[in-house]
Structure 1
Amino acid sequence: MLREFADRGSVTSAARALHCTPSAVSQQLRALQAEVGLALTEPAGRGLRLTDAGRALVARADDVLAALDRAEAELDTYRSEPRGRVRVAIFPSAALMLLPGLLHRLTEFPALDVDVRDVDMTPAEVPALIADFDIVVTHRDEHAEQLPTDRLEIVHLLREPLDVALPPGHRLAGQEKVRLTELAGERWLGVNVGFPVDDVLRSLSVRTGVPARPVHRINDFRVIEALVLAGHGVALLPRYTMSPAVVSRPLAGLRAARHIEAVLRTGTSTRPAVTKVLEALHAEAASLSEG
């Protein structure tokens, strides 16, 4: 109001420009004078004029309001363009599958800074990770309950089938599909309890009555593949990340898969930067499933 008064020369003109009453302008100018402890206006005929202190404050007001305009303009770019930092947590096998392509897709947005961490997570650990990350890429057995959505947003990315990994030369390697009953008595290689692939293997065992208890539990799929290739057992592994050196066969008569999802705190996806990362994740996941 002080700047409008200085620009327009009278309380009435300032009030007209600000769409308020002259008394409201006068009241705000008096309140400002009380706050700074100096007279900012003085009588001049039937109106008011600025004092030296008033003119000094108007000059600084121009600086302050210009800075606010610049701040608002910068915030507008964050509202309309993908820029700023997006923190992503992703479990290792999804990082192997999605991360190279995801980062390539985001190179066209130089103002977008993606900070990625690989985290070997169980579904139960996801809500705590939301406190430190904007997007958490997680996985779960397709028969398991989804995370509660009262404070979280769940975005489906990909359904990845789980296939049986067999050593080269295995007696079942020549078949197109393998029944779980045909694997009775095999040495199984699995992941730690609580992780989705183990959940799938246990649920398959319950549904078929065929025991499939891992003799070794290793979370690194590349190590499991090496053990399979060396003839130390069979395993249930994700289809899209499995090495072509391993003999991979789908299960016959059973659906076995994990769902890969992006989890966010409610409202986070409204940020253009987060939206762009989600779009890139969707596109990369789609390219994998189509391929």
Structure 2
Amino acid sequence: MAVERLRVLRELADRGTVAAVAQALSMTPSAVSQQLKVLAREAGVALLEPDGRRVRLTDAGRALVVRADEVLAAMDRAASEMASYRGSPRGQVRVALFPSGAALLLPHVLAELRDSGVDIVARDEDVPPIEVPRLLADYDVVLTHRDERGPSPGGPRVHSRVLMREPIDVLVAPEHRLARNGAVVPAELADETWLSVRGGFPVDDVLRSIATVTGVQPRIAQRLNDFTVIEALVASGYGVALMPRYASRNPELVLLRLAGVRAARLYDLATRPHAEKRPAVATVLAAFRTAAKRATAPGNSGKPSKPTG
């Protein structure tokens, strides 16, 4: 079976339609369909079946996609190994990060990779963990976040590893009645007006846990995924919010520890299986691990050293 036809099959598994595959690979839809037909003949079994006006993978097609992941990973690894004979790990690694995680970690990661020969192409992508497989169609590494009680985004075609844990606190204005308490229990928050994020993200999961403990459905005034905007609204007295501890940027606001509820989010680094065997990807993953330690170290300013020269 030709490697490039296996790549076309994998793209179909990732993107869902022949048209989307054609656009991603700069091919015509008819050329994509032809490549898939040839691959089916090479495999000796049907790989696709009709699904309305579209097609979907058969069981055999899904099984072959898993093997295609292995083959393509091996090809990438071979290319990287050959590059290693020419010096240190080199190459471009595409990385997707959720915005607050990028603000916390990306400056440290870039500082770690300085002069390494590895270049990151970073993009902000704020999606629930269930969307990670889709992102891996376009990225080598995906940094995502989830409630610590939520399932890992890992699966047969996704290798996920926990990078760090970030507590989630209650954010209030300095004049709020609870601002001097240091910590609060859910019952003290039952009558509050909340500023939250869209459903499916860790902060909203914790807010639902508070509702379970108190028996009171939270009164949510606004749902916004930009923590800077949420902080501005809290500072203006429009409500309180749950805030990941390292995401807070307004020193005038007060973070209160939430007692009685497991309140934290986990950062996960996701790749294709075997992707870490590529030297450039392994270097980026190591840089993230170091960045997480530095960014969360007690007394750390949160800012890496600036490049010189």
Q: TM-score, normalised by structure 2?
A: 0.68
> What code does the residue aligned with 2:108 have?
G
Deviation string for 1:99-151 (max 9, x for gaps)? 11111111121x21110000111112111001100000000011111124222
Matched-pair contact (CA < 8 Å) for 2:173–2:237: yes
Matched-pair contact (CA < 8 Å) for 1:179–1:251: yes
Q: Which residue of 2 aligns with 1:149?
A: 155
Corresponding residue pairs, total: 220
Superposed counterparts of 1:113-152, under 5 Å: 113-152=119-158
Indicate yes or no: 2:99 matched with 1:92: yes
Secondary structure of the residue aligned to 1:81 is coil
RMSD: 2.0
Q: Which residue of 2 aligns with 1:43?
A: none
Matched-pair contact (CA < 8 Å) for 2:163–2:292: yes
CA distance in 2 between partners of 1:187 and 1:267 (Å): 46
Q: Which residue of 2 aligns with 1:253?
A: 260
Secondary structure of the residue aligned to 1:245 is coil
Structure 2 stretches lacking a partner, 5+ long: 1-77, 299-309
Identical-residue share of aligned pairs (%): 49
Matched-pair contact (CA < 8 Å) for 2:96–2:139: yes
Residues 78 and 206 of structure 1, relative CA distance in 2, 3 Å threshold: farther
Deviation string for 1:176-221 (max 9, x for gaps)? 2011111111110000112221122112312332332421000000
Q: CA deviation at 1:278?
A: 0.6
Residues 82 and 173 of structure 1, relative CA distance in 2, 3 Å threshold: same
CA distance in 2 between partners of 1:93 and 1:73 (Å): 31
Q: TM-score, normalised by structure 1?
A: 0.72
Residues 230 and 284 of structure 1, relative CA distance in 2, 3 Å threshold: same
Secondary structure of the residue aligned to 1:173 is coil
Aligned match for 1:238, one of 244, 258, 283: 244
Indicate yes or no: 2:109 matched with 1:102: yes
Indicate yes or no: 2:168 matched with 1:162: yes
Deviation string for 1:64-92 (max 9, x for gaps)? xxxxxxx9898242797321010000000
Aligned match for 1:212, one of 218, 223, 226: 218
Indicate yes or no: 2:231 matched with 1:203: no
Moved more, 236-245 or 226-235: 236-245
Q: CA deviation at 1:245?
A: 2.3
